[in-house]
Amino acid sequence: MINLELPKKLRASANQAHQVAQEIFRPISRKYDLAEHEYPVELDTMAAMVEGLADSGTQKIGGAAGGRSDDSDSDRHATELLGNTNGGNMSALLNALETSWGDVGLMLSIPYQGLGNAAIAAVATDEQLKRFGKVWASMAITEPSFGSDSAAVSTTAVLDGDEWVLNGEKIFVTAGQRSTHIVVWATVDKSLGRAAIKSFVVPRDAPGLSVARLEHKLGIKASDTAVLLLQDCRIPKDNILGSPEVNVEKGFAGVMQTFDNTRPLVAAMAIGVARAALEELRSILTGAGVEISYDTPANNQHAAAAEFLRMEADYEAAYLLALRAAWMADNKKPNSLEASMSKAKAGRTGTDVTLKAVELAGAIGYSQRTLLEKWGRDSKILDIFEGTQQIQQLIVARRILGKTSAELK
């Protein structure tokens, strides 16, 4: 049974992440929002700090590298209050939340903390974990011909002797230019459908890999978003993650397991941004003489106060859903339903809270005097990537109704 009191080790790690967010991210947040595609040099210090903490056994500051640990005695002891078998997902979720409270674009730019690291943690073999344990991996799934339908991957991977040869185009790759490695989704046999889709670790210097362009975006401007071309790109045979065998009965489940780890993390990002907006809004409302009471019925309070209470309740619900999804992952319980529920709720809550905060703050909220308008722009992507709001609701419906993807589209 889940215990909502976090163990001391996770609280300490989350507090470290919060300090980073407050002391490093917040002061430079506006700077890199206005300087899109400029590399945040301050993150080099972050990288050294993360590396040092990792080597000392302390949890990582960033969020995306969570997922699997060695389940050592110290790990079990540190997370026994939650009942976790290792606590890696829970720790990653809390750290993602805290750093995103500072700046979600900068959080996505932390070296060696890419979304591809979560994919490696989810499906890599023990040998691959040793080889790729300290890389900075972005994740390349989306293509020009599809968005949310991950099974429609058309990038191909053909085995040629001791190498895989990859061909295709990937778009909207977060940290696609800066990362040291790319986790690429490709099909090894189009005739076998989604079961033949595998993920491959492609080094940045692999022959045939190139960056076609960087996207200009609405938000998360501190993070680079790239279009990647794979033209007869060659990688070693053992860079295919997990088993190279195509199991038609198991189908797409192995690759999709990645999302069960990463969706709660993206939910945490949205929750972190929402919390930042709520705190700023409370300060503005209090300064304007609007009292927010937890003892008086909402309908007897100022309209802005009533709206604040509604948003805060949504925030709490999103937070608890994300905690549950991460807790289930750490306890090796199937969490596909809960991961999608947390992502759907947090994505919707993030956009609702940040945009409503802009509205309730009036001219201050719409101006650049605070970060409210920036958080409104940043939050939208968190309702889109790692599966859109609509896709999450579809997955939830399939799980609850017991329908397959062919039966419920």
Q: Could you give the residue numbers annotated as active site?
A: 386
- Rounded alpha-carbon distances, angstroms, from residue 275 to 91, 92, 100, 237, 360: 18, 17, 10, 45, 15
CA distance 205 to 194: 28
Contact 350, 270 (CB under 8 A): yes
Instruction: Tally Cβ neighbours within 10 Å of residue 26.
Output: 16
CA distance 158 to 234: 10
- Rounded alpha-carbon distances, angstroms, from residue 184 to 15, 68, 119, 338: 34, 20, 10, 25
Distance, CA of 404 to chain centre: 26
Beta strand 156-160 with 137-140 is: unpaired
Closest CA to 166 of 254, 240, 115: 240
Q: Which two tokens stand for residue 260?
A: 């069960």
Contact 230, 168 (CB under 8 A): yes
